[in-house]
Amino acid sequence: MATVTRAPGEAPAGGWDVESVAAELLRCEDEQIERPPFTDEWPELDLDTGYQIQDLNLRRRLERGEKLVGVKLGLTSRAKQQRMGVHFPFVAWLTDAMILPVGDPVPQSRLIHPRAEPEIVFVMGEKLAGPGVSCAQAMAAVESVWGGIEIIDSRYRDFRFTAGDVAADNASSGAFVTGPRGLPPSELDLSLEAVLVEVDGVVVDSATGAAVQGHPGEALALAANDLARRGHAIEPGWIVLTGGMTDAVFAPPGASVAMHFTHLGSVFLNGGEG
């Protein structure tokens, strides 16, 4: 009997499913391949299916030795929602493989088309389990607040995707770096914490924490409540990236990016070499 082989990137004979999309996304990530969104061929790939794929690939990441270190929120600001054409927030996983040491350049060799965005980052002191978590309860579980840069890297060509596609793709996760100082949340008014986005010496954008769901604590509450539906809680020690405050900027080789926060200091990122 002839064995049917399929070219890399091609749908299986019966069409895409959770297993095959998950495998294909990890292959694209590992081999730096960009592709069209799966919903072009599988329109039924909705948000819930996307989360099943995301969870399956978290298992794969853990099986290959990565450690779960927290969660990230995607599309929590209007700037991000408008740019990406997806108009609600969602949650994805962070592993230790995504941590970028302070001062390291953008890891171009393992990324496809990195972009950088400023984020307010929480380190959790206490467990936070939804449903029904409020912003105030969420903030009471935070140990420290940091400025950060997330380097996103969609596996989809031109960052074109629907909600299902991007949830499946672990919300374009790539790498993240945190800033010089962490403060207790009681020392900051996070809705007024501002950031200036500087690229090659020019300030190209700015926002305050209020851009993120009115207050980044709302994004944290949303993550806890959303994860509860998927059978998870936010654990002590976890890192939570609350979502890009502004649109992301390109971070190609040679670029020099800095995010200057009012009280959380400046975070610098060098585009490195191609």
Contacting residues toward ligand OOG, per CB under 6 A: 72, 74-75, 80, 84, 117, 150, 152, 154, 159, 166, 171-172, 243-244
Q: Which residue has the tokens 């809705």?
A: 191
Give one DSSP letter per residue of 48-69, joined into a string.
HHHHHHHHHHHHHHHHTT--EE
Report what 198 binds from ligand OOG, Mg ion, none; CB cut-off 5-8 Å by kind.
none
Alpha carbons 231 and 248: distance in angstroms, whole number:
31
Rounded to a whole number of angstroms, the minimum distance from the CB of residue 78 to Mg ion is 14
Which CB, 80 or 260, lies closer to ligand OOG? 80
Whether the CA torsion 199, 116, 187, 76 is positive or negative: it is positive
Alpha carbons 215 and 212: distance in angstroms, whole number:
6
Which CB, 114 or 244, lies closer to Mg ion? 244
Which CB, 17 or 264, lies closer to ligand OOG? 264
Residues at the interface with Mg ion (CB under 5 A): 150, 244
Report what 75 binds from Mg ion, ligand OOG, none; CB cut-off 5-8 Å by kind.
ligand OOG
Rounded to a whole number of angstroms, the minimum distance from the CB of residue 75 to Mg ion is 8
Rounded to a whole number of angstroms, the minimum distance from the CB of residue 201 to ligand OOG is 24
Single-letter code of the amino acid located at 244: G
Q: Which residues contact 205 (CB under 8 A, 6 or more apart)?
A: 79, 196, 197, 246, 247, 249
Rounded to a whole number of angstroms, the minimum distance from the CB of residue 241 to Mg ion is 6
Rounded to a whole number of angstroms, the minimum distance from the CB of residue 159 to ligand OOG is 5
Report what 80 binds from Mg ion, ligand OOG, none; CB cut-off 5-8 Å by kind.
ligand OOG
Alpha carbons 134 and 140: distance in angstroms, whole number:
10
Contact present, 234 and 179 (Cβ < 8 Å): no
Q: Which residue has the tokens 């903030």?
A: 139
Report what 139 binds from Mg ion, ligand OOG, none; CB cut-off 5-8 Å by kind.
none
